[in-house]
Amino acid sequence: MNEYIVDLFEFARTGRVAEGDVQLAALPRMVTEVPAEVSASGRADGVFHWRAEGAEKQVLRADGKPKVAQFLTLSVQGPMWLECQRCLTPYQEPLDSETTFEVVRDEAAAEGRPLDEDELEALVGSKHFDLRELIEEELLLALPIVPKHEVCPSVHESLATGEDGLAEPVPEPEEEDKPSPFAALAALKRSPDKGGK
């Protein structure tokens, strides 16, 4: 029996809690984020710890009517191999994500929620819901947009600038060929009014 497949409606209704560890190798989209150098060396053996907790409670909707709603809180933590965009070497980034979703019956229910409830993401539940897919989705969202060391051990020579070799490249100043539109406006203000009285 697959430990990740749950009846999400029942899971939330009964306030169940489940947790465990999932291997990086079991998350195909995360595996593609691992630097080739790490994959080739066989070091890409990360493990992520996850915890899922269901809940059901009465909430007030925008129209003032109470309604019983179901929720799922999923937290995931673990180290992930990434390539630093500053020194171009692999490093481990600690990932830590916790999200609470409102469990809904179908896409129509997700689309039909009032706009002021968008602080909680809608999650379309099912009787055979795959928690592992959601775990992987949350880990992908937790990846940094620009992966980099806090302090690089060294910087790739093509990126190094400055004495410490750690400074980011400074953009070249723009050529001053084009006159500023504000300078042109100032010149107009200064010129005497030719059609004056």
2, 22 contact by CB (below 8 A): no
- Residue 52 β-bridge partners: 18, 74
Per the listing, tokens 């897919």 go with 133
pLDDT value at 150 more than 80: yes
Q: What is the DSSP string of 142-185?
A: HS-SS---SS-SS--TTT-BSSSS-BPPPPPPPPS-SPPHHHHH
The pLDDT assigned to 27 comes to 94
Whole-structure pTM value? 0.72
The pLDDT assigned to 197 comes to 45
Residue type for position 130 = D
In angstroms, the CA 170 to CA 168 distance is 6
Question: Cβ contacts of residue 5 below 8 Å, gap of 6+?
Answer: 128, 129, 130, 131
DSSP state of 13: H
Query: Which residue did the predictor score with more confidence, 39 or 23?
Result: 23
What is the token pair recorded at 144?
């940094």
The pLDDT assigned to 163 comes to 44
The predicted-structure confidence for 9-32, as pLDDT tens digits, reads as follows: 999 999 999 999 999 999 999 999
Vertex 85: Cα angle to 80 and 86 (nearest 5): 120
Burial of 52 per CB tally in 10 Å (0-12, 13-18, 19+): buried
Give the pLDDT band of residue 116 (cuts 50, 70, 90).
low
- Residue 94 β-bridge partners: 79
The predicted-structure confidence for 46-90, as pLDDT tens digits, reads as follows: 899 999 999 999 887 767 778 889 999 999 999 999 999 989 899
Q: Which of 94-103, 118-127, 135-144, 151-160 has the lowest mean pLDDT?
A: 151-160
